[in-house]
Structure 1
Amino acid sequence: MRSAVVAALALGLLGACSAGTEPQTGDPAQATAAETPTMLASAPVDLAAAEPPECLSDGIAYATVGQDAGATTVAWAGAGDRGVLFAPQENGDVCQWSAEVARLAGAGYLVATYDWGASGQAGFQAALDVLKATGADRVAFVGASAGGTLAAGLADDLSAVAVVALSPPAQYGDVDARVEANQFTGPLQVFSSTDDPQVPAADSALVVRNDKTSIVTEVSGTAHGIEFMAPDGYHAEHVRGTIDTALSQGFGEG
């Protein structure tokens, strides 16, 4: 099945008109990506089909975006005009968010994530380009650690509708996610741990606005970034519910 997905993607990149399937129904926790990923009738971004890693469910497209040193790999699935971009931790890959890509594609969103590659910010933009090329006209950002900084720090400039950030440093490289440096006014949820050994909770707290739609949730323990989403993690369901609520608010559904 996986080789068939790669072949289908290659055909889509060559110009075959293949539409995304309808979202699955049933228990969202059991939902997987649609059997046929959303394809590009023509490629407004530079794409080349790639062999997907085993962590990706059947039906999730995977391609190299860009060329040479600026190239990164992007995974995406689903259909529709509501996009969700998942940013991994520094040096992370598409496997970090693969379960959420499948879950939210099954829930009716167009979803993408990417391998960090040489530049996390370039990968972020590449994933956003793919989402917009495949039909998203509104996009929410979710990120872990440095990916959370990108999600929050770029939200205003890139017109995000909502942001969820797990253990974000207030600044990463030239991206400043501190509230005083941004004009983003949409739903903004930040998670942090009291004893995070990598990013102090006080640093992550600098990202939030402290109003009713901008909230920091500090929990006990040492969980950092994507560790909040560990299958056996104590906070995974809370974070997942927060993501769903932020998406609903950002897209004007609740």
Structure 2
Amino acid sequence: MTAVLLLALTSATACAGRDAETAPQGSAMAENHRSAEGGTTEKGTIAVGEFSATPDRLPSCFHGVKGATAYRPPGSSRDGRLVTLGTGSRGVVFAPISWGDACEWAAEAKRLAADGYHVVTLDWGADRRRTISDATRLLRSRGAKDVAWVGGCMGGTLMLGMLTDRTDRPAGVAGISPLASLGGYSAGNGTSYDGELLLLGTADDPLSDEKRLREVAGSFPEAEVTVLPGKRHAAEIFAGPHGTAARRSLDGFLDRTFAPADS
């Protein structure tokens, strides 16, 4: 039992403990290191469609992005912030690593919003499943007909694990460097899910190498598995030398996820 707990703590810490000085621009690690947030917080709760939320301070990584807005669901404390950008019927929720925040996926969120997607990135709340559900509800309240989930490391691990809940499932899930050791997956996790699945990682990632990635794939037999060279992890892959290939894989996944709605 001690060994299992040590593995869990080591994986979760390593997933968040990258050096902020070497983290890619827009990542949670770099953003937290700078500790620079701006903007003003409006008071009062507003209703966004059927989703009730309070306007919140916009992270500095989204300053200057047209239409970018931050919300905080009622009942949450300082955590659980949701940042939305873009418009349209195709929604994408980006979830960060264990201790990440809304800036971790900023670069990809901006890119997809510019390509016509309706995107939410997030800070984790105390109840992480609720944070993902809140982000999904926010997108749907703003007109997204279908929603895809994209999560890095612990974010992807949690999203894949949530597929055992048959209610309010997303149209597709992309696990970027998901953790085999903490997922609790079983052979049946993916068999009852008919949405699109992508598992993407790097061959020599210390936390989610090719062997571990294919171990996760054993629970999701319909998933497309993309293994890129190197050791980059989660959102870092998209900022690295194989970022173009990673984006191509993610874009293909999204094209397949939303194809029925677009046809």
TM-score calculated relative to the size of structure 1: 0.75
Equivalence map 1:90-169=2 (5 Å): 90-155=98-163, 157=166, 158-169=168-179
CA distance in 2, matches of 1:73, 1:195: 33
The residue type paired with residue 53 of structure 1 is P
Equivalent-residue separation in structure 1 for 2:39 and 2:234 (angstroms):
32
Q: Kindly indicate whether the alpha-carbon contact (under 8 Å) linking 2:205 and 2:231 is maintained by their aligned counterparts in 1.
A: yes
Contact 2:80 2:131 in 1 (8 A): yes
- TM-score norm. by structure 2 comes to 0.72
User: Partner of 2:194: helix, strand, or coil?
Assistant: coil
For the pair 1:234 / 2:241, whether they are aligned, the reply is yes
Q: Which runs of 5+ in 1 are unaligned?
A: 16-39
Q: In the aligned structure 2, how far is the partner of 1:191 from the partner of 1:147? A: 13
Query: 2 CA distance for matches of 1:132 and 1:142?
Result: 16
AA in 1 matched with 2:178: P
Write the distance in 2 (CA, Å) between the matches of 1:224 and 1:64: 28
Q: Do the aligned partners of 1:89 and 1:116 also contact (CA within 8 Å) in 2? A: no
Task: Determine the C-alpha separation between the residues in 2 that align with 1:70 and 1:153.
Answer: 26
Structure 2 counterpart of 1:28? none
The alignment yields a C-alpha RMSD, in angstroms, of 2.9
**Unaligned residue ranges in structure 2 (runs of 5+):** 1-37
Matched with 2:200 is 191
C-alpha contact (below 8 Å) 2:203/2:227 kept by paired residues? yes
Q: How far, CA to CA, are the matches of 2:105 and 2:187 in structure 1?
A: 26
Higher helix proportion: 2
Aligned residue for 1:204?
213
2:81 aligned residue: 73
Contact between 1:86 and 1:143, CA under 8 Å: does it hold in 2? yes
Identity among equivalent positions (%) equals 29
Aligned mates of 2:142, 2:208 — CA distance in 1 = 35
Instruction: Work out whether residues 171 and 178 of structure 1, in 8 Å CA contact, stay in contact via their aligned partners in 2.
Output: no
Taking the aligned partners of 1:176 and 1:66, their CA distance within structure 2 comes to 30
What does residue 49 of structure 1 align with? 55
Check the 8 A contact 2:91/2:118 in 1, yes or no: yes
| Counterpart in the other structure of 1:82 | 90
Whether the 8 Å contact between 1:188 and 1:208 is mirrored in structure 2 is no
Q: Which deviates more, 82-91 or 202-211? A: 202-211
User: What SS class does the counterpart of residue 79 from structure 1 fall into?
Assistant: coil
- State the alpha-carbon separation in 2 of the partners of residues 178 and 66 from structure 1: 35
Q: 2: distance between equivalents of 1:68 and 1:154?
A: 21
Q: Does 1:249 align with 2:253?
A: no
